[in-house]
Chain A
Amino acid sequence: MNEQPKQFKWVGTRTIRPDGVDKVTGRAMYGADLTLPGMLEGKVVRSPHAHARIISIDTSKAEALKGVKAVVTAADMPEAESKLVAAGEAMINFRDLAENVIARQKVLYAGHTVAAVAATTNDIAERAAALIKVEYEVLPHVIDVLDAMKDDAPVLHDHIFTGGVKPKPEKASNVANRVEFALGDVDAGFAQADIVIERNFTTEPVHQGYIEPHAVVADMGQDGKVDVWCSSQGHFMVRSFCAGLLKIEMSKIKVTAAEIGGGFGGKTTVYLEPLAIMLSHKAGRPVRMVMSREEVFRASGPTSGAAMTIKIGATKDGRITAGDATLYFQAGAFPGSPVGPAAMTAFAPYDLENVRVVGFDVVSNRQKVVAYRAPGAPISEYGVESVVDELAEKLGIDPIEFRAKNGAREGTKAAYGVTFGTIGMQETLEAAKATEHYKIPLGPNQGRGVATGFWFNIGGESCAGIRINEDGTVSLTEGSPDIGGSRASMAIMAAEVLGIDVTKVKPSVVDTDAIGYHFVTGGSRVTFATGMAVVDAAKAAVDELRARAAKIWGVDVDGVVWEDGHAKPASTNVGDFEPMSLAALAAVANKTGGPISGHADINAKGAGPGFGTHICDVEVDPETGFVTVLRYTAVQDVGRAIHPGYVEGQLQGGAAQGIGWALNEAYMYDKDGKLENAGFLDYRVPVASDLPMIDAILVEIPNPTHPFGVRGVGEVPIIPPLAAVNNAVAAATGVRFTALPLSPPAILAGMSAKD
């Protein structure tokens, strides 16, 4: 745990989160918790086929059912134009977004929406959905990424011609895009190596697994005004996507962010929201739509599964001479896998002269992938970190030392082309090496694995308003849905700048009518970017408070400083005035010029890159192949922890998700291309009894561009676990596994192949 920096009163303290009592008493309102007068319940009709042409849709029987108030198919939706928009992790095409919301000519995965219905009760809506008759012409489908790239694979879209290659291909294919990053000369680099290791890896698609299913209530009036309440990582994203998809002016759509029951990237796009608006429009009544857990698995998320080849060379003394990676990423039914960031992050923890990464974005008959915590990075870094570990072992060098020797530091030109500023890669390695954990002796069938991870973190648009109330309390408004305690961080930062007690600051996440545009809660950006807006707004309020004191004292504003929540004369030359508190200035605000506030509307730049190092101890049961995680430590450079409790929580939660990815989780399809494990019983996320305590160690190398040194925190922790677990299992079994998840049968098979 870090020493609390002395210069701050609130930053770095473990305050009670402002929304806490609501969340431990059941008062907090999530997506499905809103009921409006006259509200209807909406249900979706989904494709049972992985790939089929829609011949006809007959909704007449459903419409005739008593209690049914509206039915919507693609014919009710405006045709979308082909246009690129930013959506969470990557650019997506608006036409693809529209077709993912509701299929037009073809269904592209089992679970793809074909119609929606609204009725007076859930039961009637379900019966109506079953009465909608869709006639399909079933087409051959393809699920696997490498199969989808074959010449004879069924082609999903006749308008996709592989991008990123020259000349432009003449034949449509499932390979939507090729990306390439290269530095130096990899062939020359491998020629200098004393040892070269090349391995092929695969990972399966995994779902974000938020416990709250997607939910929305939409209410469209006869005047065309729309109110939307939904569980989303970005209510401004919902407004902009719904406006674009339904051709409604943005000012007519007001979106309120419900409390959100987890997202992890999976709620950075729209699924139900446009359908609910259209149903409400047709019915003239509010409509609520809530996905079942099965629908969440079949029709939202996940992140890509991938196949990849990683090749790394090093000299005998442990210097990496070249790295080469080829990545094949499943995008799902529409282009836009996170292969770009995967390619950029693959070798980013290291200072390398010769690197080449080639990536392919490949469509197949699966649900369209969406962002999942550091999109792409856990996959490519799993491959790289597994090979790095094997190199260290073969060279007889401690894995942390090997990483430190080759690790990035300030001034390193990252493999993706950018020179790093102040970063904490080396410091996380040192802190990991210094842990007690790293020294604990291991028993039989036990192994220890280490891995590092890198993620960019982002900034982006955020706004904040600080209003000084008449009694000296502060209302703080911002527009980043609070997914993990960010209100607490905002209150802390505002209190620190204003110099008042943190409990005097009440933060609210307000609707799209009440504040300016915010990019989604994603990219580990909220405490950094929205925090920066909050600090700027608080500073603007302080300037106004100083101006009011100057007016009262009849001095120049430059003669007034703000210290510890009080306006004070800057020096004795200014005059002998009693300091005025924020509350005192607030009490006379009406006499000195009216209400006092501060605002900031920014596009935050300079998010600090994040690095983490994890240590994992496992025991592998030689009889069953079952892996028990014995100990786990997550070390990360967090810049500065505004609320250390919630920062540790990010490290612990990310580690748990990564452990699930490594050991348990995978999408499994039957021969017809239908997901076989669309429920928490068969898609097994880690439960409490699967995990040990997860020690979170916060390294603080402040980000120079943020007023309090904040770096993004939320995404890095999911990156190292995949390789940390894999390397631990290798140490325990003597087998280098190259496929996730590390299920007991896979481990048994690997161990018996060795014997």
Chain B
Amino acid sequence: MIKVALTSGTASQYTDGKTEVNVEAKNVRQMVAALERDFPGLGTEIQQSMSVAIDGVILPDPYLEAVDEDSEIFILPKIGGG
């Protein structure tokens, strides 16, 4: 099981306010699919408009990155810049 942290805003919409959820996944693609299954809409939201930070590195287009139970995974809005 991997631990996925969400912002409180995202949590209030998709996970009944739980800011940390556990899913079974070996990479981000599987994680997103598992989150969509357990919390309908969340996976889609992540794909459309969120970034995933793994161990402090923000990834705007994560897909194949490996994750395990020791990974710090955080879902946050996409960031661009001027």
Contact = CB atoms under 8 A, between A and B. Distances in A.
Q: Touching in the complex, A and B, CB below 8 A? A: yes
Interface of A: 84, 86-91, 164-166, 178-182, 208, 263-266, 268, 340-341, 344, 356, 358, 371-375, 416-421, 455-460, 520, 522-525, 603, 605-607, 705, 712, 715
Contacts of A84: 48-49
8 contacts: A86-B60, A165-B13, A166-B13, A180-B12, A344-B76, A419-B55, A522-B81, A522-B82
A610 to B, nearest CB: 11
A344 B72 CA distance: 18
Given A166-B12, A180-B8, A181-B9, A86 B80 contact: yes
Given A90-B78, A182-B7, A460-B60, 4 more contacts: A91-B78, A263-B82, A457-B81, A605-B59
B46 interface: no
A322 to B, nearest CB: 15
Given A91-B49, A180-B12, A340 B77 contact: yes
A395 B80 CA distance: 37
B76 A90 contact: no
A443 B5 CA distance: 51
Nearest to B81: A523
A383 B80 CA distance: 22
Interface residues of B, number: 26
B76 A417 contact: yes
A166 B45 CA distance: 15
B38 to A, nearest CB: 17
- Grouping DSSP codes into helix (H, G, I), strand (E, B) and loop, the A interface class, with mixed when no group exceeds half, is loop
Given A419-B56, A605-B57, A344 B77 contact: yes
Interface in B44-82: 48-49, 53, 55-61, 72, 74, 76-82
B72 to A, nearest CB: 6
B10 to A, nearest CB: 8
Nearest to A373: B82
Interface centre among A356, A372, A418, A460 (most CB of B within 10 A): A418
B78 A86 contact: yes
Interface of B: 5, 7-9, 12-13, 19, 48-49, 53, 55-61, 72, 74, 76-82
- Pairs A-B, 7 closest by C-beta atoms: A265-B82, A523-B81, A180-B9, A182-B8, A371-B82, A373-B82, A340-B77
Contacts of A456: 58, 79, 81
Contacts of B77: 179, 340-341, 344
A89 B80 contact: yes
Contacts of B76: 344, 416-418
B82 A523 contact: yes
Contacts of A375: 80-82
A178 B78 contact: no
Contacts of A421: 56-57
A460 B79 CA distance: 11
Contacts of B81: 88-89, 265, 341, 371, 373-375, 455-458, 522-525, 712, 715
A733 to B, nearest CB: 32
B7 A371 contact: no
B72 A419 contact: yes
Contacts of B60: 86, 458-460
Contact of A164 (B9, B55, B57): B9
Interface centre among B9, B12, B61 (most CB of A within 10 A): B9
Nearest to B6: A417
A522 B56 contact: no
A456 B79 CA distance: 8
Contacts of B74: 417-418
A182 to B, nearest CB: 4
A494 B48 CA distance: 36
A603 B64 CA distance: 13
Nearest to B12: A166
Contacts of A86: 60, 78, 80
A592 to B, nearest CB: 37
A712 B81 CA distance: 11
A180 B6 CA distance: 10
A164 B82 contact: no
A88 B60 CA distance: 13
Contacts of A208: 82
Nearest to B50: A91
A263 B74 CA distance: 32
B61 A418 contact: no
A457 B58 CA distance: 10
B80 A522 contact: yes
Interface centre among B12, B48, B76 (most CB of A within 10 A): B76
A523 B80 contact: yes
Given A91-B48, A341-B79, A522-B80, A418 B9 contact: no
A117 B35 CA distance: 50
B79 A523 contact: yes
Contacts of A88: 80-82
A603 B57 CA distance: 13
Interface centre among B72, B80, B82 (most CB of A within 10 A): B82
Contacts of A358: 9
A165 B53 CA distance: 23
Nearest to A460: B60
Nearest to A91: B49
B69 to A, nearest CB: 16
Interface centre among A208, A263, A372, A417 (most CB of B within 10 A): A417
B13 A417 contact: no
